[in-house]
A and B are shown apart, each in its own frame.
Chain A
Amino acid sequence: MVSLLEFQNPDGGWPYQRGGPSWTEPTAYALLALVAQKSAAEPFARGLRWLHAAQLPDGGWAPQRAVRQSTWMTAVAALLGPAALGTDAYLRGIAWIVRQTGEETSLPSRVQRFLTGNAQTDPGWPWFPGTSAWVSPTALSMLALRKAARCVASAQILARLDMGAECLLQHACSDGGWNYGAARALDYDAHSYPETTGVALLALSGRDTPAIRKACGWAQAQLARCRTSEGESWLRLGLLAHGQLPSDSAPPARPPRTVQNAALAVLASAAVEGRNPFLE
């Protein structure tokens, strides 16, 4: 935690790397890590103020101040929940997430896919509005909506969660896990990544299908050979969500090289100890 606090910028936000500008993603993850640690009230308040100021009028969050477009980072901010963000800001963020879908499921794209014989997929979430759905933003948006579903009675949210789960399952790689979201390119199978497999498994928490069990097997095999701190953290979080984290798994070995990875490492450790801000 000391290193996370050391990285906080004077404006209250967190950069990805020391000396960089504040971004929404590392700020939101750092705040979640502070929640998991139940500590550092003053830095938390300053971080929240930065986050509030970064929310755009459409309810979403831009990646950083120089950008005036809400993106996938809205889902990470919304993970902080209404207690931290305030009910109004939170609900506007959730409404923004619900409005987003991958462009490939827009009506013109669906018609085009029908005419060209391409398979239709369920709607997931894009990184950036107007583009296709991919695994990480879909999984993060589902995690945000899972939380929202506990405090907002909305059939639309539940429907989007189901469709998001289908979207993830439709994009699984043949080896069992997930990469960024293209399981095949020009008839060639693509390989899974640890970080995307972990976050997809976390988003699919509470569901049990043969594909998810296969993904858990792939994730377990990757734990020992993963080469990034981010991959280690998401794998642990994902496996833990399905009760599949081996009890004898080695502790994370890779040094986090960005603030959001340092925060994710804190969150994964907290989850192992029974406090999981993604699912609580």
Chain B
Amino acid sequence: MPGLNRRDFLMGPAAGLVLASCGRRPAVRREALVSVVRRPDYTQALYGDLRRVVSEHCLKDGLHVRGKRVLLKPNLVEFEPDSPINTHPLLVHAALEAFRELGADVFIGEGPGHRRNTLDMAEAAGYFETIPRFEEIFTDLNLDCVAAVRLARPHSRLQSIYLAQSAMSCDLLVSMPKMKTHHWVGATLSMKNLFGTVPGGVYGWPKNILHWAGIPGFIADLYHTLPGRFAIVDGIVGMQGNGPIQGTPKRAGVVVAGRDLAAVDATCCQIMCIDPHRIEYLKLAVGNVAELLRSIHQIGESVESVRTCFELIPEWSGIRQS
């Protein structure tokens, strides 16, 4: 990308410092607390679930939300309210209430990759109906102010990227994906969901620059670049087969949450009977997947008790966990 100006250049080293402090391959990974909650349906019980989960991570995992600006980033993909494409609005509202009760200033944002009319899509997905005054707290990340960020030690072919300012400036970015298989990367979870912070207004629909840059590498780049994060994965009804759009519903009956997005995604993979070692973006992001798995401290349900194998298209049969 040509012509970074002085301001960008000053932002670049800051991003680089963040990356350096995270370390691409830390010598010792900190323990990653991952919550697995069994929840078979989208019911009011989700509000209690999310309150417990977020509180637990505040108490045991150093999550600070009081007085913080929290961005909930669901996954909105298509106008298919009866299909498990989009993050369910009830889960998003339950998260919103949970963070608000703990004193956070919460807003919602998303920048879909294929369709331009985000608010219309949110309406079709039931967000207006479920979340009071939705339009007032929603930011279309595709059309947001943008910030140029230099990627220090990138895994993709990009050296810099424009990102939605709301995602860069919030105190806590909560990635809220749908648990889905994905025909380009195997599984789309909380890390892949970060693609929605890349502004379509700059790169278009689809955000094809990420394909040319290398999707797994760019997922790893975003994992290292975006500030404070938390993940809440909608695995109550996920998608299997030819995801992320044309797959079939898969009732997994779980919500998975945690501060370390890689740990959350690795846990989701295991629930889906997918081998995390074979997910390229996990390898790029953390270096040593075995070490990542050893660092996970599971709370709530065990993976074994909720494991349910997601169907894979033939091209991805090699990632099946044996």
Chain A positions within 8 Å of B, measured between CB atoms, are 16-17, 20-21, 23, 25, 63-64, 66-69, 71-72, 103, 126-128, 130-132, 134, 136-137, 179-180, 182, 185-186, 188, 190, 193, 195, 227-231, 254, 257-258, 261
Is A66 a contact of B3 with CB atoms below 8 Å? no
A258 partner residues in chain B, CB cutoff 8 A: 117, 143
Quick check: is B147 within 8 A (CB to CB) of the other chain? yes
Is B313 a contact of A227 with CB atoms below 8 Å? no
Is A127 a contact of B205 with CB atoms below 8 Å? yes
Given the complex of chains A and B, what is the CA–CA distance between A132 and B208 in angstroms? 7
11 CB contacts below 8 A, A to B, read A20-B144, A67-B146, A68-B2, A103-B212, A131-B203, A131-B211, A132-B211, A186-B242, A186-B313, A190-B246, A230-B116
Quick check: is B315 within 8 A (CB to CB) of the other chain? yes
Supposing A67-B162, A186-B183, A228-B117 touch, asked if A128 and B5 sit within 8 A by C-beta, the answer is no
Is A134 a contact of B144 with CB atoms below 8 Å? no
Is A68 a contact of B5 with CB atoms below 8 Å? yes
Supposing A72-B204, A137-B204, A230-B117 touch, asked if A16 and B242 sit within 8 A by C-beta, the answer is no
B264-291 vs A, Cβ < 8 Å mask (1 yes, 0 no): 0000000000000000000000000000
The 10 closest A-B pairs by CB, nearest first: A127-B204, A16-B143, A131-B208, A228-B117, A228-B120, A257-B119, A68-B3, A128-B203, A186-B183, A131-B209
Supposing A134-B206, A195-B116 touch, asked if A188 and B246 sit within 8 A by C-beta, the answer is yes
Supposing A64-B201, A68-B5, A188-B246 touch, asked if A130 and B212 sit within 8 A by C-beta, the answer is yes
Residue of B nearest to A71 (CB): B202
A103 partner residues in chain B, CB cutoff 8 A: 212
Given the complex of chains A and B, what is the CA–CA distance between A20 and B145 in angstroms? 7
Q: How many residues on chain B are close to A (CB under 8 Å)?
A: 36
Given the complex of chains A and B, what is the CA–CA distance between A228 and B116 in angstroms? 10
A227 partner residues in chain B, CB cutoff 8 A: 79, 120, 124
Supposing A23-B143, A227-B120 touch, asked if A63 and B208 sit within 8 A by C-beta, the answer is no
Given the complex of chains A and B, what is the CA–CA distance between A190 and B78 in angstroms? 12
Residue of A nearest to B183 (CB): A186
Residue of A nearest to B135 (CB): A257
Nearest CB of chain B from residue A220's CB, rounded to whole Å: 19
Is B120 a contact of A254 with CB atoms below 8 Å? yes
B147 partner residues in chain A, CB cutoff 8 A: 66
Nearest CB of chain B from residue A101's CB, rounded to whole Å: 14
Given the complex of chains A and B, what is the CA–CA distance between A200 and B278 in angstroms? 40
Quick check: is B114 within 8 A (CB to CB) of the other chain? yes
Q: Which of B142-185 contact A (CB under 8 A)?
A: 143-148, 162, 183
Is B144 a contact of A128 with CB atoms below 8 Å? no
Given the complex of chains A and B, what is the CA–CA distance between A197 and B146 in angstroms? 29
A136 partner residues in chain B, CB cutoff 8 A: 204-205
Is B114 a contact of A21 with CB atoms below 8 Å? no
Quick check: is B39 within 8 A (CB to CB) of the other chain? no
Given the complex of chains A and B, what is the CA–CA distance between A228 and B121 in angstroms? 9
Residue of B nearest to A58 (CB): B2
Nearest CB of chain B from residue A258's CB, rounded to whole Å: 7
Partner of A193, one of B3, B115, B162, B245: B115
Supposing A126-B208, A128-B209 touch, asked if A21 and B1 sit within 8 A by C-beta, the answer is no
B242 partner residues in chain A, CB cutoff 8 A: 186, 188
Quick check: is B140 within 8 A (CB to CB) of the other chain? yes
Given the complex of chains A and B, what is the CA–CA distance between A179 and B206 in angstroms? 11
Is A128 a contact of B208 with CB atoms below 8 Å? yes
